[in-house]
Structure 1
Amino acid sequence: MTDRTRTGALAALAVATLAVGAALTAAPAGAATKAPAPKFLSASQLPPHPTSAWTADKITDGVPEEMQYCFGEALLAYDSSYRAFRTDLDTNAQQLNVVVGDSAKAKALATRLDKEVKRCIARMDTAEDIEADYKSYGSLPVEEGARVHGFATRASWGAMDINLVSVGRDGGTVTVVLWGQMGDFSDAPVKAFKKTTTTAVNKLY
């Protein structure tokens, strides 16, 4: 083999190697691209606090402690992430995003979580030293829908807390927003929380 022939053969081999490498690294035809991660609320999108500004923690994998009691079992099969919010006083909030991927399964999860709110409050009400009351604040016409719930707890030693919780869905993703502070139903910023919930669902994607 002449030097010219050898050089040509080596060049052809290099081109063929590059082509094979490109074929191996290219995505197969019809392969699905990874969906973008859902977005979270910012601190400014929480119900305004009359005397203190909200601050937002970093996004964390898992389920926030505040939601474990009510939703822990329902969320065992899913990967989820959350962001916690707080003020300098007695108010806190959390947003949980659960990417189910399948729209039908996400709908079933959202339905279950709405039911779990009521079951959870019933469990609280039978707990020793705690009384709990529930209110439904209806549904919201955002994406695939959202529902807003409220519950107030009273401890035998006098502590009173009011909480608002919403469950919303956009396609295959479910978001849960929980807000709480000391007080009773008269202290609940229902209108502002509904706005926050609408923003949370719209902001997912």
Structure 2
Amino acid sequence: MPMPIRAGALTLLALTGLTLASVLAAPAGATAGTGFLSAADLPPHPSSSWTAGEVTDGVPEELLLCLADTLPGYDSRYRAFHTELDTSARQLTIVTGSPAKAKALATRLDAEIRSCPTRIEQRDPETEAVHKDYGTLPVEDGARVHGLHTETSWGATDIHLLSVGRDGRTVTVVEWSQLGDFDDAPVTAFRKTTTTAVAKLY
């Protein structure tokens, strides 16, 4: 099911000049047997239910703004989720060649998310971006939760929660987003979602 396009700052930036999804798309049949989140695993929305899309080969376009320089040519698949309002989510899962490669990839993904605000502001000086580190989670080989807020000069704001988790040679990235700021982010529920995502990898 197509994702509704929001007018928030980060979505607009992601759709401008970053059409790399076809380049980074993985071959068909990738990561067979790797579990994905279901709609029920996502942070509850106060006024709308979640709808889960099909598991699809490749990389979701919404993650390219922060992670396009890091995502390798490994097998990858993703599932997109949306509500009837402005809230959406995605889970990307990447299978590497070994646990050591997965650890290195997860470390770099965390670093790219932390430095993403600088790149956002360089691409669009009228947008302010702020990162928050919400710490690690003791699930499988570990996970880390991040927050990212963007605000344009005309007042459009987006809040994103992102996490990177690892189990063996598999890495997963989960993103939740909606209009708003850090006060609107369901951090506790998203930490639970991340723990479930990593636990479902095998």
- 2:110 aligned with 1:111, yes or no? no
Partner SS, residue 145 of structure 2: strand
Alignment of 1:20-35 (within 5 A): none
Q: Amino acid of the residue matched to residue 150 of structure 2?
A: T
Q: In the aligned structure 1, how far is the partner of 2:32 from the partner of 2:179?
A: 37
User: Which residue, 65, 75, 84 being the options, matches 2:61?
Assistant: 65
Alignment of 1:44-193 (within 5 A): 44-126=40-122, 127-193=124-190
Partner SS, residue 73 of structure 1: coil
Residue 13 of structure 1 corresponds to none
TM-score by length of 2: 0.82
Q: In the aligned structure 1, how far is the partner of 2:91 from the partner of 2:32?
A: 18
Partner SS, residue 75 of structure 1: coil
Partner SS, residue 180 of structure 1: strand
- From the CA coordinates, give the structure whose radius of gyration is larger: 1
Residue 197 of structure 1 corresponds to 194
Partner SS, residue 70 of structure 2: helix
Q: In the aligned structure 1, how far is the partner of 2:38 from the partner of 2:92?
A: 13
Determine if contact 1:125/1:133 at 8 Å carries over to the other structure: no
Measure how far apart 1:121 and its partner are: 1.7
Q: In the aligned structure 1, how far is the partner of 2:75 from the partner of 2:55?
A: 13
Q: Which structure carries more helix by proportion?
A: 1
Q: In the aligned structure 2, how far is the partner of 1:189 from the partner of 1:38?
A: 26
- Contiguous gaps of at least 5 residues in structure 1: 1-34
Task: Report Cα offsets for 1:31-88 as digits up to 9, x if no partner.
Answer: xxxx852110000100000000000000111110100111122113222110000000
Identity %: 63
Determine if contact 1:80/1:99 at 8 Å carries over to the other structure: yes
RMSD value over aligned CA atoms? 1.4
Aligned length: 172
TM-score by length of 1: 0.81
Partner SS, residue 118 of structure 1: helix
Q: Amino acid of the residue matched to residue 138 of structure 2?
A: P
Structure 1 segments, 4+ long, off by >6 Å, are none
